[in-house]
A and B are shown apart, each in its own frame.
Chain A
Amino acid sequence: MTGGGDLTGGYQDTGPAPGDVDLDRVWLGVAAQVWRRQPGPAERAAARLLRSPGLARALVTTPSLLLGWVIATVVILLAGVGFTLGTGTPWVALLAPAVAAAGIAYAYGPGIDPAWELSQSMAVSDRMVLLIRALVVFGLNAALGLAASAASGAAAAVTFGWLVPMTAVCALALAAATVTRSPNVGVAAGSAGWVIAVLAGQAAEGRFTAAITDSFFVLPYLAFAACCGAVVLFATRIPRGTS
């Protein structure tokens, strides 16, 4: 304790405040500490990993990474596990790509960001925010889907077979959401694309799981995902100035 006054008898008489104390400045210091938001562990980890607190903050505010959305994803996949165990049809593998596509479509864009124009004028580029959010949403959905698939006791071919189609469906959802500036269109495009792929697999080989287990489709899926990725890059390009 500094000051040397008698602290045992109640208040100290410190006399009048010095005339040169800038109370506004003092208050700003107090307010800065009182109002300071404490980032959660996920945000701190992301900030260290990405080496950008701004990017980390943008990541943890992703709509499809919020707790409610993640819980909904888990519930859907758990339902898939139940149906898979009950019917023998790999519902997790059929559901996971569509669920992931919805998450990707709601990761970023003018349709879900009320302050989109302002975000575009920021030093942390909106393209980088989109990339990071999409990667993390994809990774989380892949991890949840794999866990659900493993829990449903599906064969290894089914457990991992949907990851490549999921990549293509997510890329389609992202491209549609980005180009049309509407996450709902992205969800619809991704879901419709996946349904068409599954039905086409059934028509060709007579079983629903052909779209997941047939290795013949891997290259077309990857090529399609690459095309959709190119569309996203084109749609989010920052046109160069003419100066």
Chain B
Amino acid sequence: MNVELTELTRKFGHTRAVAGVTLEAGPGVFGLLGPNGAGKTSLLRMMATVLPPTSGTLRLLGRDPGGYGPRREIRRRLGYLPQNLGYYPGFTVVDFVEYFALLKDMPPGQVPRAVATAIEQVGLGDKARVKLRTLSGGMLRRVGIAQAIVNEPELLLLDEPTAGLDPEQRVAFRALLREFGERATVIVSTHLAGDVAAACSEVTLMDAGRIVFHGTPAELIARGEGHGVGDAPLERGYSAVLAAARS
């Protein structure tokens, strides 16, 4: 298993952002759904080794990120796209992706080709030498995705990756996710049920810091049959599960 969480909890003051989450994930694409404030971002940040848990057990890629050596090894094999990714406006697309490839400790000889591959994978080849300050929001998001995948991560954590992408780009991105999911664990936090339905093999629904559903998209859809509100089957499943959890 690439991700093993046991009773993972994170508190901010008196607020429990993540409350006793237990989860295992191997290769595949996992959707993390939930309303605002459900704890998705805090959970992803803990898995990205940016935020330490308050209690519980966290093992990533078979290692305990609590120690310096294992954490460094995890980070070499990790790809992370934060929800709010800042950019260096004076950097070009290549500069930015290369910078983080080097900070991921990639062997320098492999970096140029890995950077070119990542930039082509997100469809920014024609913008490779363009400064970030001139790019649109959707393009910047794709730059963020490129830095996340540049090291061919075994654990890829994406927080709202499709925000700002147009429909055509989202379709291409889902295909990329499926491709990565064949050999890595991809965890995608999103508000968009369409992304989950199209790209994810499993879905986890969080509410108030807890997991209230874990299963396949088909199982979530089945929960919404005859219940729930929403335009799409997955949305009806989502709302039915949330309503049941809150009642």
Listed in ascending order, the chain A residues whose CB lies under 8 Å from chain B are 24, 27-29, 31-33, 35-37, 47, 52-54, 57-58, 61, 113-125, 238-243
Q: In the complex where A58-B103, A121-B50 touch, is A115 in contact with B88 (Cβ < 8 A)?
A: yes
Cβ A54 vs Cβ B128 within 8 A:
no
Q: In the complex where A28-B120, A35-B94, A123-B75 touch, is A57 in contact with B66 (Cβ < 8 A)?
A: no
Closest to B75 in A: A123
Would you give 30 A-B contacts (Cβ < 8 Å), ordered by A?
A24-B120, A27-B120, A31-B125, A32-B112, A32-B116, A35-B128, A37-B95, A57-B102, A57-B103, A58-B103, A114-B87, A115-B85, A115-B87, A117-B50, A117-B85, A118-B82, A118-B86, A121-B48, A122-B103, A122-B104, A124-B103, A239-B52, A240-B52, A240-B66, A241-B52, A242-B53, A242-B55, A243-B57, A243-B59, A243-B66
Please provide the 8 A-B residue pairs with the shortest distance between their CB atoms, ordered closest to farther: A114-B86, A241-B66, A54-B102, A122-B103, A123-B105, A31-B116, A32-B112, A32-B113
**Would you call B217 an interface residue if the criterion is a C-beta within 8 Å of the partner chain's C-beta atoms?**
no
Q: Which residues of B are found within 8 Å of A53, using beta-carbon distances? A: 102, 108, 111
Closest to A29 in B: B113
Q: In the complex where A31-B120, A115-B86, A118-B100 touch, is A242 in contact with B57 (Cβ < 8 A)?
A: yes
Q: Which residues of B are found within 8 Å of A113, using beta-carbon distances? A: 86
Interface centre among A37, A119, A123, A124 (most CB of B within 10 A): A123
Which of A33, A61, A117, A238 makes the CB contact (< 8 A) with B112? A33
Cβ B50 vs Cβ A120 within 8 A:
yes
List residues 63-106 of chain B with CB under 8 A from any CB of chain A.
64-68, 71-73, 75-76, 78, 80, 82, 84-88, 94-95, 98-100, 102-105
Q: Which of the four size classes fits the interface of chain B?
A: 35 or more
Q: Which residues of B are found within 8 Å of A242, using beta-carbon distances? A: 52-57, 66
Shortest Cβ gap from A36 to chain B (Å): 4
Q: In the complex where A242-B56, A242-B57 touch, is A119 in contact with B103 (Cβ < 8 A)?
A: yes
Q: Which residues of B are found within 8 Å of A54, using beta-carbon distances? A: 102-105
Cβ A37 vs Cβ B58 within 8 A:
no
Q: Which residues of B are found within 8 Å of A57, using beta-carbon distances? A: 98-99, 102-103
Q: How far is the CA of A107 from the CA of B161 in the complex (A)?
A: 30
List residues 133-180 of chain B with CB under 8 A from any CB of chain A.
147
